[in-house]
Structure 1
Amino acid sequence: MHRIEQRQLPVVLVGAGLPQLRGRMGNAKSYAERLFDFPEIGALAPAAAARAIEKPLHAEGVEITPEALGQILDVTRGYAYFLQAWASHTWMAANGSPIVVQDVHRAGTTAIAAMDEGFFRVRFDRCTPKEKKYLRAMAELGEGPHRSGDIAQCMAERVSSLAPTRNTLIGKGMIWSPNHGDTAFTVPMFDQFMKRIMPADSWR
C-alpha cells in the first residue's frame, strides 16, 4: 500500500484539563507533529480524546480502526501531549488507510523516545538529585499512588526527613496528593520514564 498522502489537516483543539509544564520538541516540527499539535492541557475525556484523533483524519478521508484508536487512548490515558506524540508517530508509521493497531505498535518506540526527550526529560532536569531519588523510589513502587511511609521505606529514610523534598516536588508540579498521606505522579507513564532514566539499582 502507498503511504498515506501527507497533506495539511485541520487541527482539532478539544477539552481542557489541569495545566502542565510544556514539553519542548524543538523549533523544527515534522508534518505529523503539526498535524496533532495540541496546546499543553491535561487528560481529556475519552470521547474528546477520540475526536481529537479521528476528526482531522476523517477530514482527509483517512480512517482509523477502533482497535488502533483504543490502543492510542489506552496507552496515553487521554493525556493531550501524549495523544499528540502517539498519534503523530502512528500517522508516520502508517502505510495506508485505515490506520491499524500494528501501526500504533510500530510507532511505540519513536513515540516513547520523543516523549522522553521532549516532555519527561524537561521535567526531570528541573529536579535536584534528592528529588530525582524520591521520584525513582516512587517508580520502584509502581504507578501509584503510594503512601509516604512506603516511599520513605524504599529510600531507607524517615517520612519527616523527606517532607521538604515531597513539598518541593508538589510545588514543581511533579507529584500531587490525591488523598492525605498519598503521593502520585501528576502525569501518566512518568514511573516508566524514571526506570529508563535511572535503571536497576543505580539510584540507591
Structure 2
Amino acid sequence: MDPILNPYTPGAGSPPPELAGRDAIREQVRIAIARIKTGRAAKSVLIVGLRGVGKTVLLDKMRLEAEASGAQTIRIEAPENRSLPALIAPQLRLALLRLSRVESAKDIAQRGLRALTGFAKGLKVKFNDIEVGFDFDPEPGLADNGDLEGDLAALLEQTGKAAQGAGTAVVMFIDELQYVPEEQLAALISALHRCSQAQLPITLVGAGLPQLRGRCGNAKSYAERLFDFPEIGPLAGPAAYQAIEKPALEEGVAYQPGAIDLILEKTHGYPYFLQEWGKHAWDVAAASPITIVDVETASIEAVAALDESFFRVRFDRLTPTEKKYLRAMAELGPGPHRSGDIAERLRRPVSGLAPIRNALINKGMVWSPSHGDTAFTVPLFDEFMHRIMPGNDWNTV
C-alpha cells in the first residue's frame, strides 16, 4: 500500500492519529484549569507511567487544549543535566510578557518581570546555567534572596497574580519531572503550595516515570495532598482496537479478522508499540485488508526498528556493569524482581549491587514498585536484553 498515506506515527512524542483511551485524564485537567481560573481549588496533576505509554503526547495534547481555552501555558522538558531554574526562567518570562500586553494585568506582569530579574541574578552563582533576558531592573527584596525555595515561590506568586489580573490561568507543562533534583523539586512543590493557599490561578501538569510519586513524597511530605497522580499504562480492549483500526479505516483500509488481535498480543497494548506495528503492517501489506501474515512479517521489521532506536538508544547509555545487571533482570523475566533474586543471578551480595541499582534508577531505566523490588521502566526491555546479550557469556566472571 502507499507509504505516503500510512497514518501511523511511531516516534518520540509524535502525536498518534487517534489518541485513544485518555479522555478521563484530559477531562480531569480541563476541569482543574477551569476551576483555578475562577479562584476555586484544584490539585495539580502529575501523570506517571512507563516509557512508551504516551505521556509526552498526552501532555502536548492537553497543552493545546489549555491554550484553546484561553490559558497561558509554558512547556518544559527536564533533562538530566539542566537545573530547574534554568529551564523555567525563560518560559516564565515569555508568559509574563504575554500577560503584560493585557491592560488589566500590565502593571502586575511587569512587577513579575522585575521579580524574574531578581530571581535570575540572585541564583546565578548557585545555578550558573541560568540564561534569560532581562526586561526590567530588579525590585530589591522581590525574589532575589538567592534561596531557591523562597525566590521561586515569590516568582510564581507574582506570575499567578498577573494571570489573575488578566482573567486567565498559567499552566506549566513539565515532562520528565523525575529528572529534577530533589532539592529543586521540593522548591517547586513549596511554591505551588503557596500559590494554592493564595488561590492564585497557576498550576502544574507534569509527567514522569513511576518513581516520580516517591520523589515528590520525599521532597515534601504534603505532596500527596497537593497533586493527583493518575497512572497511564497500556491500552486495553476497545481503546487498543481503536488506536489501530480507526486510522486505517479513515484511509479506506481494513484489517483481516484476527490481525489486530495479533498486533495487541505482540505489543501488549503499549501505544508506542501499537504505532510501530501499525506502520510496518501497513508498509508490508500489498492491499486491504491487512492480513495476519502481513502482521507476522511486520513484527520482524518492527522488532528490528525498535532494537535500533527505542531500545538501543537507552542501552548505549549504560556502563558494562549496568548492562549486566539488566541482563540478570531479563533472565528472570519481565519483572518486577526481588533484589535478592537479581543478586543471586549475578553471584554478588545485594549490598554490593546497590550503587548499580541506584544509578539505573537515576538514569530512568528501572524503578522500585515496592521496597526491595526492581522493575524495568521500558516495556519489553527484557526481551531486548536477551536479543542484544544472548547466551550465557554475559554472566561469566
Specify which of 10, 13, 19 is matched with residue 19 of structure 2: 13
Conserved? CA contact 1:49–1:78, under 8 Å: yes
Which residue does 1:199 correspond to in 2?
390
Which residue does 2:318 correspond to in 1?
127
- The alignment's TM-score, normalised by the length of structure 2, stands at 0.43
Instruction: Return the letter of the residue paired with 1:181.
Output: G
Which residue does 2:234 correspond to in 1?
44
Superposition pairs for residues 37-76 of structure 1, below 5 Å? 43-46=233-236, 47-76=238-267
Q: Percent of aligned pairs with the same residue?
A: 56
- Answer yes or no: is 1:98 the counterpart of 2:98: no
Residues 1:191 and 1:94: Cα distance change in structure 2 (over 3 Å)? same
Secondary structure of 1:96's aligned partner: coil
Secondary structure of 2:306's aligned partner: helix
Instruction: Return the letter of the residue paired with 2:18.
Output: V
Instruction: Return the letter of the residue paired with 2:235.
Output: A
Instruction: Return the letter of the residue paired with 2:49.
Output: L
Conserved? CA contact 1:4–1:95, under 8 Å: no
Which residue does 2:123 correspond to in 1?
none
User: 1:116: how far off?
Assistant: 0.3
Residues 1:110 and 1:166: Cα distance change in structure 2 (over 3 Å)? same
Conserved? CA contact 1:76–1:188, under 8 Å: no
When structure 1 is superposed on structure 2, of 178-187 and 99-108 the one drifting more is 178-187
Which residue does 2:301 correspond to in 1?
110
Residues 1:177 and 1:65: Cα distance change in structure 2 (over 3 Å)? farther
User: 1:202: how far off?
Assistant: 2.2
Secondary structure of 2:375's aligned partner: strand
Unaligned runs of 5+ in 1: 22-40
Conserved? CA contact 1:62–1:98, under 8 Å: yes
For residues 127 and 141 of structure 1, the distance between their equivalents in structure 2, rounded to whole angstroms, comes to 20
User: 1:180: how far off?
Assistant: 2.0
Conserved? CA contact 2:50–2:233, under 8 Å: no
Q: Runs in 1 of length 4+ with deviation above 3 angstroms?
A: 3-6, 14-17, 41-44
When Rg is computed on C-alpha atoms for both structures, the one with the higher figure is 2
Which residue does 2:141 correspond to in 1?
none
Q: CA RMSD in A?
A: 2.5
For residues 8 and 45 of structure 1, the distance between their equivalents in structure 2, rounded to whole angstroms, comes to 21
User: 1:15: how far off?
Assistant: 4.4
- The alignment's TM-score, normalised by the length of structure 1, stands at 0.81
Secondary structure of 1:203's aligned partner: helix
Which residue does 2:354 correspond to in 1?
163
The count of residues paired between Structure 1 and Structure 2 equals: 185
For residues 314 and 50 of structure 2, the distance between their equivalents in structure 1, rounded to whole angstroms, comes to 14
Which residue does 1:173 correspond to in 2?
364
Which residue does 1:142 correspond to in 2?
333
